[in-house]
Structures are given as structure tokens and as C-alpha cells.
Amino acid sequence: MAEVTGLVRVVIVDDDPLVRGMLTMMLDGADGIVVVGEAADGGAAIAAVDRHMPDVVLMDIRMPGVNGITATERLRRRPRPPEIIVLTTFDTDEHVVRALRAGASGFLLKDTPPERISQAVRAVAAGNPMLSPGVTRRLMQRVASGAESYEHASNRLALLTPRERDVVVAIAQGRSNAEIATGLLMSVTTVKAHVSHILTKLDLDNRTQIALLAHDGRLV
């Protein structure tokens, strides 16, 4: 996992003020994290991000007005978007896939232990996706039946060089940059360069979306 230096700035988005207060008390000042703002719905979340410029947004899904999925899509289109962790009571396959396809870097349930949530904030701030343990295996088993067809995914993956495809497979297998470097006999710097090129070529936002595309295209 890449190292994060300095405070990680967080905005919390949830329509329940009690949940926002609980998360603020839990995270603010813990493990190098500072909560810089709150919002009660997706529309207010966008304004809060513009105002506070956070590194990470904790985003509920079901909210009045603009929901969390739509807000995530809009935020990820920004020139310098924050990383987004969806934090919700709903863990259906549909919610997981929609959130990750929208550009979320993490998906956690609200009953996740506090230390796990703070670890997730630090992880996504460092560019590493984070999913609840129970979500990952079920997601990968079923994502191929999602919105993107095998043919479409295969056509997009055909844009990659053989080496880039090797990196994509390793990402889909959940390997870190260091593990990919060891397995493919290259430096971590080279792995990071490959990941950056892959994201640009495929017009994706993060490693989780690379993994989804790899599963859609049946590379793993």
C-alpha cells in the first residue's frame, strides 16, 4: 500500500444526522484523519466537496434528492476528484456494482468496525481500493453478468499491450503494486506507470474499475 503523508481530509455524506455525528466522532483526529465537512444529500455533497476539497468522501447510497450513486458519478468527473467510499446498510450485488462502476474506490457496510473504516479511508487516500470482506468474493463471482457485455469489455481490453494485460490480470486478482512488481519482475515505479497508462487508455477512474472490466472480459 502506498504511504499517505499528512492529514487525510474527509467529508461525510448521510441523510441521518446521528450517523454523520457518529462517524465524525469516530474519525476526526483518528489515525491522521480530519473531518472537514458534512452533507445531508448528494447535491449538498458536491457543494461540500467544492468548499472543503477533501481527499476522501464517505457516501451513503439512499438519500433524498441526489442519491449517492449519482453524486459519486458527478464527483468522479471532476478534474481532481476525491476518492469515494460508499458506506451503507445495503450490500446487494446491484448496489455494489453500481457504486463501483460509478467510480467508488470502496464499499463498506455501516456495521463495519471503526478501525476498519479508518483503515479504509487511509487505504483509498493512498490509491488502494477497499471492500467489505463479505462483498469481494460475491462481487467477483457475479460481476460478469453486469451492465457491460463480454464483447464490449473484450474490445476495450484489446487496446492494451500484452504487458498491460498482465498488470490488469494481477490487479483483478487483488495484488498490490509491490506484489505485481515481484510477480512480473519489474519495479514498483514501472507498475505504477503501467496502471496510469491503463486507466488513461480505458478511460477508467481507479483500480477497482480495472478489476471489474477484467472480470467482464473474462481475463480472470
pLDDT at 74 over 50: yes
**CATH architecture of the domain formed by 8-141:** 3-Layer(aba) Sandwich (3.40)
Q: What is the pLDDT of residues 94-113, one digit of tens each?
A: 777 788 888 888 888 888 88
- Whether 199 and 206 have beta carbons less than 8 Å apart is answered as yes
Tell whether domain 148-216 is in CATH 1.20.1280.50. Answer: no
Is the whole model's pTM more than 0.85, yes or no? Answer: no
168-189 mean pLDDT: 88
pLDDT at 90 over 80: no
Q: What is the pLDDT of residues 23-68, one digit of tens each?
A: 999 998 877 899 999 999 999 999 999 999 999 999 998 898 899 9
pLDDT at 142 over 70: no
All structural domains of the chain with their residue ranges: 8-141, 148-216
Amino acid 12: pLDDT? 96
Distance between CA atoms of residues 195 and 156, nearest Å: 15
SS (H, E, C) 104-139: CCEEEECCCCHHHHHHHHHHHHCCCCEECHHHHHHH
Q: Which residue has the higher pLDDT, 135 or 129?
A: 129
Amino acid 104: pLDDT? 87
Proportion of the chain above pLDDT 90, given as a percent = 44
pLDDT at 196 over 60: yes
